[in-house]
Amino acid sequence: MEVLQTILPAFLTALAVWYVMKKALDRMESGFTQNESDTEVERIKILLPLQLKAYERLVIFLERISPGSMIFRLNDGSKSSAQMQLELLKAVREEYEHNLSLQIYVSEAAWEEIKQAKEEVLQLIKTAGKHIGPGGSSLDLNRAIFELEADIKESRLNRALRILNLEIRIIMGEDSH
């Protein structure tokens, strides 16, 4: 299942890159003089794949910091709630730091939503840790995290994913509705 979660986004992104490049090149051929067209095509050939890769990495980042995903990856059942809490908090921060440079490829609104999603996850972990206390088990902490997450009507993670999806559709020239 984890392999599928990794391979499917990569495949879809590769497919999207091919589609976007083809569509962009077709558009460029019809609307510019030869010099303008060549320059714009070169710019698209360089920047578009980088931008699409950044969007892909940010989607993966959001999926990796989702509480369920992290608990599945990090829990071995032998940790105390305090140890598990520290490990979860560390994982979120490391993932964020690893993807920090990608903000140059997305809108300010999207990046702000990504930051808020990260903060929401961190707060969720901290709140669950306070409810359980340091003496509980990692399973108790995990249960508390899932219960708190279930109480959130619309998570920032989901909002950030929707914004990224909308932006990529706009970049690809598709209708955003």
12-35, pLDDT tens digit by residue? 666 666 666 676 666 655 655 555
Do the domain assignments include residue 177? no
Do the domain assignments include residue 161? yes
CB contact set of 47 (below 8 Å; sequence gap of 6+) = none
Task: Quote the tokens at residue 107.
Answer: 């809108």
Do the domain assignments include residue 96? yes
Do the domain assignments include residue 176? no
Instruction: Give the pTM.
Output: 0.74
Under a CB-based contact definition with an 8 Å cutoff, are residues 16 and 174 in contact?
Answer: no
Do the domain assignments include residue 24? yes
The residue range of the domain holding 123 is: 2-171
Cα–Cα distance measured from residue 29 to residue 41, given in angstroms and rounded to the nearest whole number: 9
Give 41-51 pLDDT, tens digit per residue: 677 777 888 88
Give 117-173 pLDDT, tens digit per residue: 999 999 999 999 999 988 899 999 999 999 999 998 889 999 999 999 888 888 777
- Number of domains the chain is built from: 1
Do the domain assignments include residue 151? yes
Do the domain assignments include residue 104? yes
Cα–Cα distance measured from residue 169 to residue 30, given in angstroms and rounded to the nearest whole number: 21
Task: Quote the tokens at residue 63.
Answer: 């999926």
Do the domain assignments include residue 163? yes
